[in-house]
Amino acid sequence: MSTFMPMLYSAWDSDIAYSFRKSRVAVISSLLLLAMFLAAILAPHLAPQNPFDIAELSLFDSELPPAWAEGGNPAYLLGTDTQARDVLSSIMYGMRISLVVGFASVILAAVLGVTLGLLGGFLGGIVDAVLMRIADVLLSFPPILVALLINGVLRGALPQSAQADSALIVLILSIGLTNWVQYARTVRGSTMVERRKEYIEAARTLGTGSVAIMVRHILPNVLGPVLVIATINLGMAVLTEATLSFLGVGMPPTQPSLGTLIQIGNEFLFSGIWWVVVFPAVALAVLVLAVNLLGDWLRDALNPKLR
């Protein structure tokens, strides 16, 4: 306990924290994000309805406008869609899925990319060459196409009965496997720089093993840019998920993500029930915007050249 408070203070007092406190954009966007994370995580407790539980839906209540509009029902704050799903609940649950896909795919990509980048950068030689060629091949494809491809292959490879349940995993895998290259390249680059630094040579002369050098010495020093990429990638992953859903290869309509909600709502664009598309679209845009703003700030804050 005696060290905890000073540690807390030094974290609060650090340059990053200071620049965070000074940046209104960073504070606002992280508050927004926090709110959305909480809404997503606590959706089962907060949401008025569980839109994934079809037994809760009653078609009698379908297409109700938002509560404040004429004909609105106060039980459904943002109205309901054609399946009588509460739009607010759908957004909360949809955000949950979007965020799960976003985070999981970013973590997958980051872990894979960082590991491979570290190995390639530190070991060099054949390992590096092979890894970088794979990266080149992957980079030879626009990411959305790679995601489409992986998605297609995975779907084809999975048994039919598993598909509804596996949509989430397929999405995570296809987005994650598409994005690791960026991490790998960055980490490889940084690793190659760090590897030549004298503290690494020092560690080697002091008998520290290769794995320990990679994990304990290099890794902490290359994580800064990884964090930046991860943040920006989170936004991209959420968007990619939405786009895949729009193209019809994302989450099924029974478990809609934000992208699926927009895709479904898109069909009702002219029918007057604007709330089924506008609210999810705004939620998605705000989510991604907040993530991007935070990523922007983080990149500037972590860039030593800008200090």
Tell me the CB-side half-sphere exposure of residue 98, using CA atoms within 13 A.
37
Of 287, 263, 294, 269, nearest in space to 98 by CA:
287
163 binds other proteins (CB under 8 A): yes
Per CB under 8 A, contacts with other proteins among 82-101 are 82-84
Per CB under 8 A, contacts with other proteins among 175-214 are 197-199, 201-208
Smallest gap from Cβ 200 to other proteins, in A, equals 8
Distance, CA of 57 to CA of 62 (rounded, Å): 9
Tell me the CB-side half-sphere exposure of residue 78, using CA atoms within 13 A.
21
Residues 6+ away with beta carbon under 8 Å from 141:
149
> Phi first, then psi: what are they for 267, rounded to 5°?
-70, -15
Distance between alpha carbon 109 and the CA centroid of its chain, in Å? 10
Distance, CA of 287 to CA of 227 (rounded, Å): 18
Unique residue bearing structure tokens 């927009």: 262
115 binds other proteins (CB under 8 A): no
2 binds other proteins (CB under 8 A): no
62 binds other proteins (CB under 8 A): yes
CB-nearer residue toward other proteins: 117 or 259: 259
Number of residues forming the site for other proteins (CB under 8 A): 81
Per CB under 8 A, contacts with other proteins among 284-303 are 284-285, 288-289, 292-293, 296
DSSP conformational letter for 66: P
End-to-end CA distance of the chain: 33
Per CB under 8 A, contacts with other proteins among 210-269 are 217, 220-221, 235, 239, 242-243, 246-249, 252-254, 259, 262, 266-269
148 binds other proteins (CB under 8 A): yes
Of 291, 275, 237, 289, nearest in space to 259 by CA:
237
The stretch near other proteins (CB under 8 A) out of 102-110, 113-121, 133-141, 170-178 is 133-141
CB-nearer residue toward other proteins: 22 or 46: 22
CB-nearer residue toward other proteins: 74 or 272: 272
Per CB under 8 A, contacts with other proteins among 8-27 are 15, 18, 22
The stretch near other proteins (CB under 8 A) out of 66-74, 97-105, 115-123, 153-161 is 153-161
